[in-house]
Chain A
Amino acid sequence: GDSVTQMEGPVTLSEEAFLTINCTYTATGYPSLFWYVQYPGEGLQLLLKATKADDKGSNKGFEATYRKETTSFHLEKGSVQVSDSAVYFCALSELGGSQGNLIFGKGTKLSVKP
């Protein structure tokens, strides 16, 4: 079945450091790909998305490119802030149409120190 694998955390960085969180996926079709963020004690917020190969999703300085050839959707940010400390989830939705449930990676906890 479909699956998402993302790098194990936790990841600890200093403020203004460069961030990469790796994500690869296995899917039988052409999924949409997402990054969600979960701040402590809160629900999931959509951070960015991409719906087809070579699409780049971006938001709040974060970006990720849908790479079909490497089945990857790595999350990057050039300069992290303390406020970026959260758990980040890579996810895919496989089914065509609007009914597809999300399949999540296990999450990567990011801690940014001042």
Chain B
Amino acid sequence: GEEVAQTPKHLVRGEGQKAKLYCAPIKGHSYVFWYQQVLKNEFKFLISFQNENVFDETGMPKERFSAKCLPNSPCSLEIQATKLEDSAVYFCASRTSGGSSYEQYFGPGTRLTVT
């Protein structure tokens, strides 16, 4: 599609439950990025993919977070055993492999609330 799509829009989980978020990048974009935006607007980079391969996962809390981008499927971000501190808006972004300005196009986000 022409826009980055993210589902669901809102997700509520009890502490300790699993949460799974989905992202469909813009068609033709080979790079996908996940960011976490916490309450005070701060963005934290989590992970990036080049097609189905993890490119950079330096921001991922590896104990409970995992992510995949499989061919012909939306990308996913999964949080096992959610904690209160995971409450945030999770944004997915995509970009092409060409160009020189590295601009990324963002989806509308998934708001995760852990209670």
Contact = CB atoms under 8 A, between A and B. Distances in A.
Interface string A49-63: 101000000000000
Contacts of A28: none
Given A98-B31, A101-B48, A102-B33, A46 B103 contact: yes
Interface stretch (A15-23, A37-45, A77-85): A37-45
Main secondary structure of the interface of A (DSSP, over half): strand
A25 interface: no
Interface size range on A against B: 20 to 34
Contact of B41 (A99, A100, A103, A106): A106
Given A43-B108, A98-B96, A99-B55, A104 B43 contact: yes
Contact of A102 (B30, B43, B108): B43
A32 interface: yes
Contacts of A93: 102
Give the one of B4, B55, B98 with max A CB within 10 A: B55
Interface of A: 32, 34, 36, 42-46, 49, 51, 87, 89, 93, 95, 98-104, 106-107, 109
B102 A100 contact: yes
A99 B50 contact: yes
Given A34-B103, A43-B107, A45-B106, A98 B98 contact: yes
Nearest to B89: A43
Nearest to B98: A98
Top 8 closest A-B pairs, CB basis?
A107-B41, A104-B43, A44-B106, A93-B102, A101-B45, A43-B108, A43-B106, A51-B101
A49 B102 CA distance: 10
A98 B108 contact: no
